[in-house]
Amino acid sequence: MDNIERTKRYLAGNNLISTYKSVENSLRQSHRVLKKAGRLLIIDAICPRMVQGLENILFSFSSIVLGLWDKPMVYYFSLSGLIQILGKVGFKEITFSYLDTGSAQLRPFTSSVGIPFKYTPLCHVLIEGTK
């Protein structure tokens, strides 16, 4: 596999089920390789649960539209959704704190369409789980 193919692999899959499995498998592998009482730290953008529900409904459509522009699918979990997967794969003592991104111009997906991050329903969190 060359570098170009490697860079086109993302956690978001071609459908909602493969996306969940990909994220779950990545977190399971992280849990597996950690030493006893090891910690996993995740800094990620999350969305409200209602937005994740809407994202679930529109996943196929969004994937097709992004594919037309050769953009990768981006999927945002809600905090409870991400914590649920962390618990499912075996992490304990899962804690989180919201990060103040202030006026930072963080634009993960939105930079492609020109929407400033501060106008999206996303926020950043630090999540910590212990093996």
pLDDT in tens, 2-20: 444 444 456 777 788 989 9
Per-residue DSSP letter, 29: H
Q: Tell me what pLDDT residue 38 has.
A: 95
- Whether residue 83 is predicted with pLDDT greater than 80 in this model: the reply is yes
Q: Tell me what pLDDT residue 119 has.
A: 60
Q: Tell me what pLDDT residue 73 has.
A: 79
As for how many domains the chain has, the answer is 1
Q: Tell me what pLDDT residue 4 has.
A: 45
Q: Tell me what pLDDT residue 1 has.
A: 44
| Radius of gyration of the chain, Cα coordinates, nearest whole angstrom | 16
pLDDT in tens, 30-74: 999 999 999 999 998 899 999 999 989 999 898 888 888 887 778
Chain-centroid distance, C-alpha 42:
10
Contact indicator for 89, 62 with CB cutoff of 8 Å: no
Share of the chain above pLDDT 90, in %: 44
Ramachandran assignment for 36, one of left (phi > 0), alpha (psi -120 to 50 degrees), beta (any other):
beta
Q: How many CA atoms lie within 13 A of 55 on its CB side?
A: 21
pTM of the model: 0.77
Domain that holds residue 90: 3-130
